[in-house]
Amino acid sequence: QKEVEQNSGPLSVPEGAIASLNCTYSDRGSQSFFWYRQYSGKSPELIMSIYSNGDKEDGRFTAQLNKASQYVSLLIRDSQPSDSATYLCAVNTRGSYIPTFGRGTSLIVHP
C-alpha cells in the first residue's frame, strides 16, 4: 500500500461547479497535510495546508481533514477553467519533516 493515495483522474467538472479531490494516507500518526497545485509543465505550488481535524477555508478552497478515517480532501467552489491542473496531496508522516506526495489528481474544468 502506498503511503499517499490519490485517484489520478481526470476529474472533469463544469465551470461554476464544486470540484472535490480526495486523498488517503496510510500512517495514522501523520501530522501535516498539504495540497499543491501543478500546472502542466510547471512546478508544484502550495495552495493549502491543514494540521487538525475539520475544515479550513481559504477563498474558494476548503481543505478537510479526518484523521480517524485517514483522509484529506480539497474542495474548490465555483471552479474556473484556470483551476485546471494536477492537484498533489502531500503528507508529513510521523516523525518526518519530508513531505510524501501522492501521484496527483488531474482536474479539468470545462466552460
Choose among 33, 34, 55, 32: nearest CA to 46. Answer: 34
Q: Which listed residue (10, 12, 14, 46) binds other proteins by CB under 8 A?
A: 46
Place of cell 461547479: 17
CA gap 88, 30 in Å, rounded = 17
| Least Cβ distance, residue 4 to other proteins (angstroms) | 8
Residues 5-34, interacting with other proteins (CB under 8 A): 6, 8, 31-32, 34
Task: Answer whether 79's CB lies under 8 Å from 109's CB.
Answer: yes
Task: Record the cell numbers describing residue 24, joined without a space.
Answer: 488517503
Cis amide leading into 10 (omega within 30)? yes
Of the two residues 88 and 109, which places its CB atom closer to other proteins in the complex?
Answer: 88
Report the residue from 18, 51, 58, 78 that binds other proteins according to the rule CB under 8 A: 51
Interacting positions 61-90 with other proteins (CB under 8 A): 88
Binding site for other proteins (CB under 8 A): 4, 6, 8, 31-32, 34, 42-46, 49, 51, 88, 92, 96-104
